[in-house]
Structure 1
């Protein structure tokens, strides 16, 4: 028998979320597709270790319910997202300042909840909490929403007296009412600076109301410089925005592009922090399970690619009409010589279990004081009970950057201060260190890096967009659009040049 001209329309190299999402779009368009994955499992960095009934994410990157690709992505109809409690907990001077839900138990946007916490910090005296206790700031009560929302109205710039901190601003609803600072406390009563809550609320409200296109058109700086240039006091940046953005971007020094930071704040203001029910691996497993049988092949290592073939260590050459490289950045550069390899942010996740969990109510806890290695922590089993067996709690804590030598001991000491309880009886389940966890997005950062290298050769992944799940999924969408356009217009190409074409000249 004569060998066919090609064995499959498209070969996708890599079975992470980008590659699997791309395979869905291609098969839905009637394009025969094979996904080749070197590892024995799908998911790439979105993997989950199972230990004694616990489900432990290796990276634990935070997601948002506002990610549009999670809501409309093919193959994700069965995905269940477990939301954190609205807002965050801020740990400052031995106290927790909680972002509370409005009266009546309704949900609020995460940005509003976070602002509640900042305003509580600004109006409450700074005294130490009782041992093991959680002290909140001054009581907060919601204000009816502003019905005169007009996104294009310029923001109010005049100074407002302390009694008018609830005055409405165009582009956002009023948030809370707070009283004046207690007499005689002065700056000590406002750890983020006098007037900071008002300026911070204005800044975040404007980001929440600004279309993404306008955010991307802003001048680009490192995020920490951009925050300082926008008139926010250093104490506000260091005490609230820095720990928040560090958690969202996995970047403790805020060297990330200000445009990417604005996108993170926009997502934070528009939705809720969340996790996939059952662990991070559930998302790629759902994508893989919804593909036609025989589409995904694990344990197949691709050694080279061309515009019309791939070569594997196990099965030799596989001929095709197009190749989509959907691996991590370093592997993609090995297959596509000349492709730029970005820097990375290391991430270490430490998982503990206890039968006496701290009472944080499913919030994400951030350390405003930065008094230890933990950037953020949460009782994950309060958010997603399926991640721990009955009667046990799962506490997952994230260390950004290079971890200390004895990371578990350092994390335990820090968690004892953050939660206000002894961690001596906590059991360590796992310590996962990923050196190349998140591609760095330092300025200048191209949020739409090319996905079409040559007609017949494409690349996607979080290193081509933003270093988030949303970025990986969106880059797959862009790559598939370019690939399908080439196939549909007949520019796929290989009849005139039947021999494999090297990608070296096309590397970007």
Structure 2
């Protein structure tokens, strides 16, 4: 059916990432005729999984957090066949290898937290108090306090510089995609820390792309249009890149920040963080456990053997290693990373086979304090914008922003 033959929709949603999908879902369920326009050949935006020679390759290392409210509300978690990471991490530091594990989930490993083995008694007490506050206090209380950087929040919590440099900075740099811990504490760090304590970090058996795929499967037939890039938002709807126009009284832009700013001139968007992820295959797993390994030198953000988390990520008999670094992939960086991996895993990596490299620009918005937890999605009359850059850089932020966009569209229509 051509655009001329299709009845014009009540609303157009541009971008089939998590925010756009849930916005289109909520609008459709409220009785509106919706079209969801996606430029690429699949849903998910940055949350996609490619298949190559029997490997599942997420577009950048990602984890799935079961504690996010929108995740629990919208997804059938059992159908994702989730496999968990170890509730802890291994840090390679100038003082050697350090392991920290959540003793409430792995009581048998609590001895590793004895004072002096990883952290001092003072640091253990400070970290336990911070964790208990974030886990037990109402989320509204965490959000309402004055905002500051994560670095300042950790110091205020009583953690020593050594604890921050050896454990928390290397771990959180991989969460924030920045190494100065300048990310908002109240609007992001404390809420993410809370979700990690209350939920499980895991991966779907079919890759992270299974998450948006499950959401998109709930869309009414005919809603989703792939391979349909939008060139501009117009007074009457949108102009497609093929030169045709698609009219609609309401348009929601649910793309990444730079694309949204192009489609909605004058829209302020935050700077973005860039990350590069290298995938290597090897015959033997260099770490026989599903544990995240972080590097206090920050030569790499983190690395893990994905097939220890879920074997479906690689052909039988093959281990798939994911390694992420800040910023892009200039000449020579891959070999430097491979050399550092040899040190981190304590093994020869020269025979590891490079499978893929993904550089993801604007993987997360830069969330410096004071960072608003959520922004209105209203941009102009009948024009809206949603995405993680309008909330927090997480699946929760994207889903919450898409939910808010649908709610504000429906509220505005109800007032007419």
TM-score normalised per structure 2:
0.91
Q: Is the Cα contact below 8 Å between 1:64 and 1:273 reproduced in 2?
A: yes
> Given the alignment of the two structures, is residue 119 of structure 1 paired with residue 113 of structure 2, yes or no?
yes
Deviation at 1:67, TM superposition (A): 1.2
Deviation at 1:377, TM superposition (A): 1.0
How many residue pairs get matched? 411
> Given the alignment of the two structures, is residue 257 of structure 1 paired with residue 184 of structure 2, yes or no?
yes
Structure-2 residue corresponding to 1:502: none
Q: Give the whole-Å Cα distance in 2 for the aligned partners of 1:404 and 1:223.
A: 29
Q: Give the whole-Å Cα distance in 2 for the aligned partners of 1:440 and 1:317.
A: 34
Supply the RMSD in Å over aligned alpha carbons: 2.5
**In the alignment, which of 319, 339, 352 is matched to residue 280 of structure 2?**
352
Q: Is the Cα contact below 8 Å between 2:90 and 2:100 reproduced in 1?
A: yes
Structure-2 residue corresponding to 1:144: none
Structure-1 residue corresponding to 2:133: 206
| Structure 1 segments unaligned to the other structure (5+ residues) | 125-190, 492-508
Structure-1 residue corresponding to 2:28: 27
Deviation at 1:306, TM superposition (A): 4.3
Q: Is the Cα contact below 8 Å between 1:22 and 1:477 reproduced in 2?
A: yes
**In the alignment, which of 479, 483, 491 is matched to residue 405 of structure 2?**
479
**In the alignment, which of 375, 387, 401 is matched to residue 301 of structure 2?**
375
Equivalence map 1:431-442=2 (5 Å): 431-442=357-368
Distance change (3 Å), C-alpha of 1:77 and 1:236: closer
Deviations 1:448-467, CA, capped at 9 Å, x for gaps: 11212234211110000001
> Given the alignment of the two structures, is residue 222 of structure 1 paired with residue 216 of structure 2, yes or no?
no
Distance change (3 Å), C-alpha of 1:269 and 1:100: closer
TM-score normalised per structure 1:
0.76
Q: Give the whole-Å Cα distance in 1 for the aligned partners of 2:218 and 2:99.
A: 43
Instruction: For residue 340 of structure 1, give the secondary structure of its aligned residue in structure 2.
Output: coil
Structure-2 residue corresponding to 1:503: none
Structure-1 residue corresponding to 2:162: 235
Larger Rg: 1
Q: Give the whole-Å Cα distance in 2 for the aligned partners of 1:42 and 1:205.
A: 37
Equivalence map 1:104-183=2 (5 Å): 107=105, 116=110, 119-120=113-114, 122-124=115-117
Distance change (3 Å), C-alpha of 1:229 and 1:348: same
Distance change (3 Å), C-alpha of 1:117 and 1:207: farther
Deviations 1:330-367, CA, capped at 9 Å, x for gaps: 11011111111211111010111111102341111122
Structure-1 residue corresponding to 2:40: 39
Equivalence map 1:360-399=2 (5 Å): 360-367=288-295, 369-370=296-297, 373-399=299-325
Distance change (3 Å), C-alpha of 1:363 and 1:458: same
Structure-2 residue corresponding to 1:467: 393
Q: Give the whole-Å Cα distance in 1 for the aligned partners of 2:75 and 2:89.
A: 31
Q: Give the whole-Å Cα distance in 1 for the aligned partners of 2:241 and 2:234.
A: 15
Q: Give the whole-Å Cα distance in 2 for the aligned partners of 1:302 and 1:76.
A: 33
Structure-1 residue corresponding to 2:97: 95
Q: Higher helix fraction: Structure 1 or Structure 2? A: 2
Deviation at 1:113, TM superposition (A): 10
Deviation at 1:75, TM superposition (A): 7.8
Deviation at 1:254, TM superposition (A): 1.1
| Structure 2 segments unaligned to the other structure (5+ residues) | none
Q: Is the Cα contact below 8 Å between 1:307 and 1:456 reproduced in 2?
A: no
Query: Which structure ranks higher in relative contact order (CA pairs < 8 Å, sequence separation ≥ 6)?
Result: 2
Distance change (3 Å), C-alpha of 1:194 and 1:85: closer
Distance change (3 Å), C-alpha of 1:98 and 1:223: closer
Structure-1 residue corresponding to 2:17: 16
Structure-1 residue corresponding to 2:86: 85
Instruction: For residue 303 of structure 2, give the secondary structure of its aligned residue in structure 1.
Output: strand
Q: Is the Cα contact below 8 Å between 1:88 and 1:363 reproduced in 2?
A: yes
Q: Give the whole-Å Cα distance in 1 for the aligned partners of 2:281 and 2:111.
A: 28
Q: Is the Cα contact below 8 Å between 1:404 and 1:410 reproduced in 2?
A: no
Q: Is the Cα contact below 8 Å between 1:97 and 1:117 reproduced in 2?
A: no
> Given the alignment of the two structures, is residue 426 of structure 1 paired with residue 352 of structure 2, yes or no?
yes
Deviation at 1:194, TM superposition (A): 5.0
Deviation at 1:287, TM superposition (A): 2.4
Instruction: For residue 300 of structure 1, give the secondary structure of its aligned residue in structure 2.
Output: coil
Deviations 1:67-124, CA, capped at 9 Å, x for gaps: 121222168773333221222223333324252767xxxx45xxx999x58724x433
